[in-house]
């Protein structure tokens, strides 16, 4: 949600900023802008509004006019405060145009701060909350503070999660960043320093990466980078390893990132599962402060997540309860911390998140820690805020996911959570080691089954064409087919903007069936589970209302499709692993439908890849 990039040093250039913004575009694309501190001694600002075209306009403008620079900051916006207009586009300046800022997040108390500043005669040129930060820093600088001192002082006055980077014309080449529960990473190639909201933005520039800590101020300039807490006590920078390659963050011949990432799913799952068991078959977490004995003492699991990650968590609930007999609660992160969850030191709270930065889930993780729970993050971004906060981490190794609609990280999350479920079963003694080994073996075969499911690409393209006039879709399933149904509906909504709802098939008769008629298409997740027959009875209820049925099933059940109905055959696997295979045709259906409607699947309207506001 909003992307920030900044550069200073020998290789600072406007191109570093604009190319980085292109890679950050998935975080928001309402408008874009840069401010560069040019060798003439002042700031030059270039901004453009207009959705996905803004960056192209910015490229032409800024690249044509800017020569050598000391430093620069750039931003791609997902609008919160103020419409996506040119005036609200970042970077924002203070009254005298001596301070420039790019910001991600929300200044929750900005109204009070703005009133205070207006009363002192400050003039605002945007409707954003961000601009108050520029004016507050202006006040501090006028009082004699350095940029670093000004940021430390102003940071403690603001409420809310945010990260920002500021520059001042009075300190050429110096950039100061601040981070609070919003992403920011520092990198260097030895000659220049880069600050960005995410690793891919600087993957082609930096060779060494450092964590930026919450509630810390980072000062980057010609002499290097230093970090300090808000009392300006220095804190050492901690390096971390990034294994992602530049190629993994490129489209590599695919039309878009979403199709590339759909096809990367078998490899992403293979990597996530590879080399995870030690000699005595225990699961090796990537980071952990608790051991198997502590894990065995857990008496409840609480999963918190949002969106697609929530659907992966829902699959895990079925598996953990089945294999471990532990009670599992599942919560949408934004609900968790506001409803007095019953959590104590014997609860394992599992935060599931691709980015590791989703503010709602991060806040839930904080809450879980405050309540004394053991915490585990399942996330894809190494060194992300959740990975740094949780007591233990299990990384999905899906590589960078750029498409806003999550695909490969979803199936990798389910794979990671299945390993967790099996580990809990092992340490609690609910499964014999041989049973765990046997299930692991089946899990490791899932990527090959996914490869089979991916061969349905053209079948789903045909199906999308067949249903191109339909304006209402329903997705139903039972047991683990239910989260698959929810995910199928979410994918279709996200990128094609068509009304699509996911329901537990058994719940249809309690209300939603009223909406069914001959104008609706109902996708049924009909792969084999122990509720298969009951599910087929629910399908009869749908047929009786005249809606068209599409069955996602195992080839042995092809005969259950009636004349005129569509049957999409996917490989039969262990029922608890089936969501990783069954979801693939639904992703492909959403993809082909959206492409057929002429939409940009990588940049769906109103959405940002990483949601860092509440
Ligand atoms: C998925 O297609 C969506 N973009 C969205 O629901 C996403 O899963 C959600 O915002 C959670 O993100 P996270 O996994 O990075 O926490």
**Sequence-separated (6 or more) residues with CB below 8 Å from residue 298:** 326, 346, 347, 348, 374, 424
Cβ neighbours for 540, distance < 8 A, ≥ 6 positions apart:
none
Average pLDDT over residues 312-340: 95
How many C-beta neighbours within 10 Å does residue 317 have?
A: 19
Question: Is 333 close to ligand 1, i.e. is its CB under 6 Å away?
Answer: no
Write the pLDDT tens digit of every residue in 408-457.
999 999 999 999 999 999 999 999 888 999 999 999 999 999 999 999 99
Q: What is the pLDDT of residue 249?
A: 81
Cα-flanking dihedrals φ and ψ of residue 440, to 5°?
A: -60, -40
| CA-nearest residue, atom 5 of ligand 1 | 307
CB of 71 within 8 A of CB of 91? Answer: no
Q: Is the CB of 307 under 6 A from ligand 1?
A: yes
3-state secondary structure of 393: strand
For the four alpha carbons of 365, 369, 373 and 379, in that order, the dihedral sign comes to: positive
Pick the CATH number of 254-444 from 3.40.50.10490, 3.30.70.580, 1.10.3720.10, 3.30.470.10: 3.40.50.10490
Ligand 1 centre to CA of 357 (Å) is 10
Q: What is the pLDDT of residue 85?
A: 87
Task: Kindly report the CATH class assigned to 3-242.
Answer: alpha beta
The domain 453-596 having CATH identifier 3.40.50.10490: the answer here is yes
Instruction: Indicate the top mutation candidate among 161, 182, 198, 307 to test ligand 1's pocket, ranked by most ligand atoms within 8 A of CB.
Output: 307
The number of angstroms, rounded, from the C-alpha of 7 to the middle of its chain's C-alpha atoms is: 24
124 exposure class (CB count in 10 Å sphere: 0-12, 13-18, 19+): middle
Q: Work out the mean pLDDT of the chain and round it to a whole number.
A: 93
User: What would the pLDDT profile of 169-194 be if each residue is shown by its tens digit?
Assistant: 999 999 999 999 899 999 999 999 99
DSSP code, position 557: G
Q: How many Å lie between the centroid of ligand 1 and the Cα of residue 141?
A: 39
Sorting pLDDT into bands at 50, 70 and 90, what band is 81? confident
**CA 610 to centroid of ligand 1, rounded, Å:** 7
Residues of the chain with CATH 3.40.50.10490: 254-444, 453-596
Q: Which H or E element spans position 530? A: none
- Catalytic residue among 179, 260, 493, 609, which? 609
Task: State the pairing for strand pair 548-553/566-569.
Answer: parallel
Q: Which residues contact 586 (CB under 8 A, 6 or more apart)?
A: 475, 484, 487, 488, 491, 492, 523, 552
The whole-model pTM stands at 0.89
| 562 CA distance to ligand 1 middle (Å) | 36
Pocket test for ligand 1, best of 332, 354, 612 (most atoms within 8 A of CB): 354
Contact 37, 169 (CB under 8 A): yes
pLDDT value at residue 380: 96
* Contact indicator for 352, 309 with CB cutoff of 8 Å: yes
Question: Between 57 and 526, whose confidence is greater?
Answer: 526
Element (H, E) at 437: helix 433-444
* 534 a catalytic residue: no
Give the C-alpha distances (Å, rounded to integers) separating 396 from 24, 56, 156, 295, 306: 21, 33, 35, 20, 16
The Å distance, Cα 351 to ligand 1 centre, comes to: 12
Q: In sequence order, what DSSP letters do the residues of 31-89 get, joined into one string?
A: EEEEEEEETTSSEEEEEEESGGGHHHHHHHHHHHH---EEEEEEEEE--SSS-SSTTTP
pLDDT, residue 52, reads: 65
Residue 260: active-site member: no
The alpha carbon dihedral of 386, 387, 392, 396 has a sign of positive
What are the tens digits of pLDDT across the range 258-308?
999 999 999 999 999 998 988 777 888 888 888 888 899 999 999 999 999
Mean pLDDT of 386-399: 95
- Burial environment of residue 64 by CB neighbours within 10 A (0 to 12, 13 to 18, 19 or more): exposed
Cβ of 406 less than 6 Å from ligand 1: yes
- Contact at 8 Å (CB) between 527 and 484? no
Range(s) within the chain of domains with CATH label 3.60.20.10? 3-242
Region of poorest pLDDT, from 51-60, 63-72, 360-369, 518-527: 51-60
Q: Is 353 in the pocket of ligand 1 (CB under 6 A)?
A: yes
- Looking at residue 280, its pLDDT comes to 77
Count of beta carbons in the 10 Å neighbourhood of residue 519: 13
């Amino acid at each position: 949600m909003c992307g920030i990039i900044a550069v200073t040093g020998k290789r600072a250039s406007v191109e570093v900023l604009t190319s980085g913004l292109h890679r950050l575009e998935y975080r928001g694309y309402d408008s874009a802008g840069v401010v560069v501190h040019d060798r003439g001694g002042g700031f030059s600002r270039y901004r453009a509004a207009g959705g996905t075209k803004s960056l192209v306009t910015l490229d032409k403008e800024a690249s044509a006019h800017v020569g050598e620079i000391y430093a620069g900051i750039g931003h791609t916006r997902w609008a919160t405060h103020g419409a996506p207009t040119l005036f609200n586009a970042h970077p924002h300046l203070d009254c005298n145009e001596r301070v420039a800022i790019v910001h991600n997040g929300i200044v929750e108390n900005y109204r009070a701060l703005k009133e205070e500043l207006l009363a002192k005669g400050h003039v605002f040129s945007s409707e954003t909350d961000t601009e108050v930060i520029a004016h507050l820093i202006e006040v501090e600088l006028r009082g004699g503070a350095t940029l670093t001192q000004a940021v430390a002082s102003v940071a403690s006055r603001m409420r809310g999660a945010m990260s920002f980077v500021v520059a001042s014309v009075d300190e050429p080449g110096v950039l100061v960043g601040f981070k609070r529960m919003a992403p920011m990473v520092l990198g260097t190639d030895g000659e220049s320093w880069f600050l960005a909201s995410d690793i891919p933005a600087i993957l082609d520039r930096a060779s060494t990466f450092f964590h930026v800590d919450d509630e810390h101020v980072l000062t980057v300039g010609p002499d290097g980078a230093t970090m300090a807490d808000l009392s300006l006590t220095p804190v050492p920078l901690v390096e971390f390893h990034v294994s992602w390659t530049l190629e993994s963050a490129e489209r590599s011949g695919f039309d878009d990132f979403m199709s590339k990432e759909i096809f990367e799913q078998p490899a992403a799952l293979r990597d996530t599962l590879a080399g995870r068991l030690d000699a005595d078959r225990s699961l090796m977490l990537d980071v952990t402060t608790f051991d198997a004995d502590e894990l065995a003492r857990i008496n409840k699991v609480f999963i918190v997540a949002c969106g697609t990650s929530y659907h992966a968590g829902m699959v895990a609930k079925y598996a953990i309860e089945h294999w471990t007999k532990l009670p599992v609660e599942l919560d949408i992160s934004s609900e968790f911390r506001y409803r007095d969850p019953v959590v104590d030191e014997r609860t394992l709270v599992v935060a599931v998140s691709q980015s590791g930065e989703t503010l709602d889930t991060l806040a839930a993780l904080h809450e879980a820690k405050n309540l004394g729970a053991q915490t585990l993050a399942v996330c894809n971004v190494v060194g992300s805020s959740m990975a740094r906060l949780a007591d233990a981490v299990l990384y999905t190794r899906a590589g960078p996911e750029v498409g806003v609609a999550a695909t490969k990280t979803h199936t990798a999350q389910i794979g990671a959570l299945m390993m967790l479920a099996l580990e809990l079963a092992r340490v609690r003694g609910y499964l014999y080691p041989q049973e765990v080994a046997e299930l692991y073996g089946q899990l490791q075969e899932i990527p090959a089954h996914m490869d089979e499911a991916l061969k349905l690409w053209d079948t789903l393209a045909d199906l999308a064409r067949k249903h191109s006039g339909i304006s209402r879709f329903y997705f139903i399933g039972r047991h683990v087919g239910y989260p698959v149904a929810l995910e199928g509906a979410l994918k279709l909504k996200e990128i094609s903007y068509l009304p699509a709802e996911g329901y537990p098939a058994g719940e249809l008769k309690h209300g939603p069936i009223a909406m069914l008629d001959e104008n609706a298409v109902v996708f049924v997740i009909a792969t084999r589970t122990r509720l298969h027959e009951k599910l087929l009875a629910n399908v009869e209820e749908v047929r009786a209302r005249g809606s068209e049925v599409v069955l996602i099933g195992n080839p042995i059940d092809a005969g259950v499709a009636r004349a005129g109905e569509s049957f999409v055959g996917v490989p039969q696997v262990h029922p608890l692993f089936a969501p990783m295979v069954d979801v693939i045709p639904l992703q492909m259906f959403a993809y082909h439908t959206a492409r057929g409607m002429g939409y940009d699947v990588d940049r769906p309207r109103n959405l940002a890849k990483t949601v860092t506001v509440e």
